């Protein structure tokens, strides 16, 4: 049998099987009425899930047989900057062509634009699979996300012009936010936009930096439309197609994801279309765009971790020391177990978050259509919005840190050879490193999540999961989790009462506890399905619960001791 990165991944297949997208698809597929109009649209729920399986199978085939075999080559050659233009590595060009021929670009776009109307959860599975094969090309593939933003916020004329070309894979996109002096603090973006009355169009001037795939045909760009303003409220979102006024000044030389060009781009009176409402560029649209991208980066980290785990697993079984494969040594098997549990835990989390994002989008769509078919729509929308808002940064934070941990341990299992270029793990370690940096660092994800966490945004969900009957075999795990969940709530209340700099100081700890609690309940639900799943839950919870409880206790006692030490320890350079 030929290799396939979906069919050889039992965890992904399990996640697909466990997904319950009934409510989402009922809305997204308009009660499956689209099936009358479009040959690819599903006739019913079972048909839709079968289609997703087929689609992931097609992707898994391409990733295993076309993209992954040339991953090292794509890394070594990397994207090049030649005569003012970016050229992808030959392997990357082949990868992009294959994904295009397979009609996998524009996959989330609605049927009418030639898309496959995919839900977010399925799209994240695609990102996971592509990233396992080669995480650099994932950024090119993943930037089809900007087509979704255009779909959600642009006017019909703009959509009709751009979206079918995205769906056919004729154009690709870049999300252009960062500037030399506006990284984490995007509110200080300086690229200027002015309305050229004579030409009747907006024009942009400025320089953007660290732009992933900045050589793309279509740019979604954040710029200052309100002259004299200084904060986020002066920024609007623009759409433009690259022409001679857009100049790629250079591309960065960087640690990993060499296949992905990171560009510095200059705009010189470039004509652009405004997307959505003026002055809502950052606070509404870029945030929504970034939230999608954040989830994708979480999935990317999982894909890289999956590749790293498989490298470590096969090496540990081949490498003989002390007359046995090192996989049999307890110290090594512990590392493998821990990696496996963490990867599966993260996938469960990405799926849960994906479902809430899908629900949010579906409900928002109903609301925009003034659809009254769901009586408690307003309440459902609020619930989905709350959960998507808190789970997205938490997922990006958890999955990208997890990916780094897994790659680190995978190299450790390889020992000395893992440090050498000949082995894939070295590349994976370099590639994964960016995942907890770009699309908002881990620290920024915590900032994004902490407000909601302190507002007990997860309580209803956790209470719902705690009310499930898990049976006697899982009773002790459930009890442990219930206690940790209680501690999480108490720690939340305790931290909420503290001064803001103490909250910021301990926020990471609360985010760790929250991630652990959410993931553990998800794994406990999986544990009902099979013995293996129950064991994964036991390994994961067993490994983390006491450390997490300790974090909870430390938050409860949180005071200014460590903060004050800044004054003495960090006061000067030692």
Partner 1 sequence: MTYNSIVLVKQVPDTRTVTGDVMSKKGTMNRSAMPAIFNPEDLNALEMALQVRERYGGQITVLTMGPLKAADILRDALFHGADNVILLSDRKFAGADTQATAYTLKSAIQKIGDFDLIFCGRQAIDGDTAQVGPQVAEKLNLPQITYTESIASMDGDEIIAKRAFDLGSEIVKCKLPCLLTVVGSADRIRPASARKRIENKLAAIPSEYPAIVEKWAEFETETALAAYLTERNLEITVWTAADLDVNEDQLGLSGSPTQVYKVNYVVLESTESKEVPPTKEGIRELIQELIQEYIVG
Per rule CB under 8 A, is residue 365 in the interface with partner 1? no
Longest CA pairwise span in the chain (Å): 81
Per rule CB under 8 A, is residue 559 in the interface with partner 1? no
Q: In angstroms, what CA-CA distances link 160 with 39, 154, 278?
A: 20, 10, 21
- Record the tokens describing residue 555, joined without a space: 């938050």
Cβ 54 to partner 1, closest distance in Å?
5
Q: Find the binding residues for partner 1 in span 66-85 (CB under 8 A).
A: 66
Per rule CB under 8 A, is residue 59 in the interface with partner 1? yes
Per rule CB under 8 A, is residue 103 in the interface with partner 1? yes
Which residue of 10, 80, 101, 184 would you call a contact of partner 1, by CB under 8 A? 101
Per rule CB under 8 A, is residue 91 in the interface with partner 1? no
Given the complex with partner 1, which of 45 and 194 has the nearer CB atom? Answer: 45
Q: Using CB under 8 A, which of the segments 20-28, 38-46, 233-241, 354-362 binds partner 1?
A: 38-46
Which residue of 13, 26, 30, 47 would you call a contact of partner 1, by CB under 8 A? 47
Q: In angstroms, what CA-CA distances link 372 with 168, 368, 369, 376, 513?
A: 34, 11, 9, 9, 39
CA 255 – CA 397 distance, rounded (Å) = 20
Q: In angstroms, what CA-CA distances link 203 with 173, 200, 208, 529?
A: 19, 10, 15, 57
Q: Using CB under 8 A, which of the segments 11-19, 100-108, 410-418, 523-531 binds partner 1?
A: 100-108
Given the complex with partner 1, which of 45 and 505 has the nearer CB atom? Answer: 45
**Tokens 């990397």, residue located:** 78
Per rule CB under 8 A, is residue 61 in the interface with partner 1? yes
Per rule CB under 8 A, is residue 324 in the interface with partner 1? no
Q: Using CB under 8 A, which of the segments 97-105, 153-161, 354-362, 411-419 binds partner 1?
A: 97-105
Q: Cα(first)–Cα(last) distance of the chain, in Å?
A: 61
**What long-range pairs does 487-492 form, CB within 8 A, spacing at least 24?**
487/513, 487/549, 487/552, 487/553, 488/462, 488/513, 488/514, 488/517, 488/552, 489/456, 489/459, 490/552, 490/556, 491/551, 491/552, 491/555, 491/556, 492/453, 492/454, 492/456
Per rule CB under 8 A, is residue 137 in the interface with partner 1? no
Which residue of 40, 190, 201, 266 would you call a contact of partner 1, by CB under 8 A? 40
- The candidate with the shortest Cα–Cα distance to 435, out of 542, 565, 297, is 297
Cβ 55 to partner 1, closest distance in Å?
4
Per rule CB under 8 A, is residue 13 in the interface with partner 1? no
Other CB atoms within 10 A of residue 124 CB: 28
Per rule CB under 8 A, is residue 98 in the interface with partner 1? yes
CA 22 – CA 114 distance, rounded (Å) = 23
Per rule CB under 8 A, is residue 391 in the interface with partner 1? no
Binding site for partner 1 (CB under 8 A): 39-40, 43-44, 46-47, 50-51, 54-55, 57-59, 61-62, 66, 98, 101-104, 107, 116
């Amino acid at each position: 049998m030929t290799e396939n990165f979906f069919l050889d991944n039992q965890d992904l297949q399990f996640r697909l099987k466990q997904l319950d997208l009934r409510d989402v698809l009922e809305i997204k597929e308009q009660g499956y009425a689209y099936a009358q109009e479009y040959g690819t649209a599903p006739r019913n729920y079972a048909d839709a899930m079968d289609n997703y399986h087929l689609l992931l199978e097609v992707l898994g085939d391409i990733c295993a047989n076309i993209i992954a075999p040339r991953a090292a080559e794509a890394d070594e050659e990397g994207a090049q900057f030649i005569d003012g233009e970016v050229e992808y590595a030959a392997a990357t060009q082949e990868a992009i062509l294959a994904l295009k021929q397979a009609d996998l670009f524009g996959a989330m776009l609605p049927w009418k634009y030639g898309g496959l109307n995919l839900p977010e959860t399925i799209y994240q599975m695609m990102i996971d699979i592509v990233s396992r094969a080669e995480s650099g090309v994932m950024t090119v593939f993943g930037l089809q996300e900007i087509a979704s933003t255009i779909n959600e916020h642009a006017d019909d004329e703009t959509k009709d012009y751009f979206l079918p070309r995205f769906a056919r894979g004729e154009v690709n996109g870049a999300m252009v936010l960062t500037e030399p002096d506006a990284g984490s603090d995007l509110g200080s973006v300086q690229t200027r936009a002015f309305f050229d009355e004579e030409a009747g169009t907006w024009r942009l001037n400025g320089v953007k930096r660290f732009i992933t795939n900045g050589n793309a045909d279509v740019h979604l760009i954040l710029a200052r439309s309100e002259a004299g303003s200084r904060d986020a409220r002066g920024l609007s979102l623009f759409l433009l197609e690259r022409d001679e006024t857009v100049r790629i000044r250079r591309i960065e030389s960087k640690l990993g994801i060499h296949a992905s060009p990171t560009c510095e781009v200059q705009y010189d009176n470039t004509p652009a279309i405004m997307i959505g409402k003026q002055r809502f560029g950052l606070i509404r649209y870029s945030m929504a765009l970034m939230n999608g991208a954040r989830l994708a980066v979480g999935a990317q980290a999982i894909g890289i971790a999956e590749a790293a785990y498989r490298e470590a697993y096969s090496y540990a079984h081949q490498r003989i020391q002390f007359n046995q494969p090192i996989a049999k040594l307890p110290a090594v098997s512990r590392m493998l177990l821990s990696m496996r549990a963490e990867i599966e835990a993260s996938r469960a989390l990405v799926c849960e978050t994906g479902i809430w994002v899908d629900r949010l989008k579906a409900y928002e769509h109903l609301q925009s259509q003034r659809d009254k078919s769901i009586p408690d729509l307003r309440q459902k929308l609020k619930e989905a919005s709350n959960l998507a808002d808190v789970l997205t940064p938490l997922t990006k934070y958890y999955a990208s840190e997890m990916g780094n941990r897994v790659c680190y341990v995978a190299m450790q299992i390889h020992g000395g050879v893992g440090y050498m270029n000949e082995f894939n793990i070295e590349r994976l370690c370099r590639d994964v490193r960016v995942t907890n940096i770009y699309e908002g660092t881990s620290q920024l994800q915590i900032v994004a999540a902490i407000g909601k966490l302190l507002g007990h945004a997860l309580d209803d969900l956790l209470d719902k999961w705690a009310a499930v009957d898990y049976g006697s075999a899982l009773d002790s795990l459930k009890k442990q989790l219930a206690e940790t969940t209680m501690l999480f709530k108490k720690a939340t209340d305790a931290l909420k009462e503290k001064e803001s700099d103490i909250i910021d100081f301990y926020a990471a700890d609360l985010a760790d506890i929250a991630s652990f609690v959410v993931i553990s309940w998800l794994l406990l639900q999986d544990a009902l399905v099979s013995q293996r799943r129950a064991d994964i839950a036991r390994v994961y919870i067993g490994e983390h619960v006491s450390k997490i409880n300790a974090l909870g206790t430390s938050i409860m006692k949180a005071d200014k001791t460590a903060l004050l030490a800044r004054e003495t320890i960090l006061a000067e350079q030692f």
